[in-house]
Amino acid sequence: MTATNVVAAAVAQTGGSGTGRLTGLRAAFRSPRLIVGTSIVGFFVLLAIFGPFFFSNPNALSNTELAGPSLKHLLGTTQIGQDVFAQLVVSARNSLLIGVGAGLLATVVSIIVGISGGYAGGIIDEALNLFSNVVLVIPTLPLVIIIIADVKSNGLVPLIVIIAFTSWAAAARVLRAQTLSVRNREYVLAARASGERAWRIVFVEIMPNELPIIVSNFIFGVIFAILTQAALAFIGLGDPTLLTWGNMLSLAYDNQALSVGAWWWLIPPGLCIALLGMGLALINFSLDQLLNPRLRVYRPAKARRGRAQVSQG
């Protein structure tokens, strides 16, 4: 996934010219990918905001243990009779919170390191670039695992901070490359000549022009954070008092949901993560198409192709 991000961004840099941008824009907004993507993400966001209000106690016990889906328990029950559906809905909020929080923080770091470095140039740029490249090649999950094992804190906020500070590097590298190509354009030179301060040039002149890349990085950051949290929780490093999709999977696995065949407990949390991730990735995908005119496919058979995509999406 991260690989796609970088490769796609590399592609985005090579295709520069903005010919046919308006028609492209219209097509991009109508693209079934974007519609499907925003619908899925919108659904989960609403679920995360309003869903938990309907379930006051998702951990409430009952006497129906490990029962399959029924009208009373839409997605069955756990080994101690908790309602899986209620847990799923309440988990949406925490999972999204971790994703958005870590994604935002990582984006901020990547902007500071990537754009400032690219704009400053010289030794500062060399140093920051070396720094991001080093962070990039050190595998993230093992690093996060030993940080959490050593620090011994896995609450919501520490988790967000740890995930963010280990996952900003790919975004910073892409932003730096883009900044290098933008920093000598006329409007930046004009701003510099008229005596604007460096921070203003970086945040007011350059950053808005890189917004699509920043948004795309943020979206990948969200997916990455949710996946990382899920993996951490699954291998037993999550905060057990926090209800997230990853923790649900971890509990299900630890309580032999697999051997008793409790699919209603195992499948939904993972499916939610995968669907949300797919929705976000689809948004990014259409963003890419919009950013990079060379990726658009001009074919007379366009209408037919559009239908084929709807039917399979």
Partner 1 sequence: MRYVLRKLGFYLVAAWAALTINFALPQLIPGNPVEALIGRMAQSGGAPPGEAKVLTSLLGLGTGNIFEKYWQYVDGLAHFRLGLSVTNFPTPVSTEIGQSIYWTLILVGTATVVSFVLGIGLGALAGWKRGSKLDAIIPATTLLTAMPYFWLALLFVYVFASNVWHVLPQGQGYDTNSELNVGWNLPFLASAVQHAILPALTIVVSSVGGWLLGMRNMMVSTLSDDYVVAAEAKGLRQRRIMIGYAARNAVLPSISGFAISLGFIVSGAIATEYVFSYPGLGEKLVQAVISDDYPLMQGIFLVITFAVLGANMIVDLLHGFIDPRTRLSR
- Least distance to partner 1 from the beta carbon of 59, Å? 22
Whole-number Å distance between alpha carbons of 80 and 61: 6
Residue type, 33: R
3-state SS class at 25: helix
- Measure the CA–CA gap between 44 and 304, rounded to whole angstroms: 30
Asked if 263 and 139 touch (Cβ cutoff 8 Å), the reply is no
Q: Does the CA dihedral 154-155-161-164 come out positive or negative?
A: positive
Nearer to partner 1, 201 or 279 (CB): 279
Measured from the CB atom, the residue of 198 and 261 that comes closer to partner 1 is 261
The encoded tokens of residue 26 equal: 């219209």
CB of 228 to partner 1, least distance (A): 8
Q: Identify whether the C-beta of residue 176 lies closer than 8 Å to the C-beta of residue 120.
A: no
SS3 assignment, position 176: helix
Kindly state the smallest distance separating residue 310's Cβ from partner 1, in Å.
10
- Least Å distance, CB 58 to partner 1, is 20
CA–CA–CA angle 116, 117, 122 (5° rounding): 130
Smaller CB separation from partner 1, 104 or 143: 143
Output the smallest distance, CB 188 to partner 1, in A: 23
Name which of 5 and 179 has its Cβ closer to partner 1.
5
For partner 1, which is the closer residue by CB, 195 or 299? 299
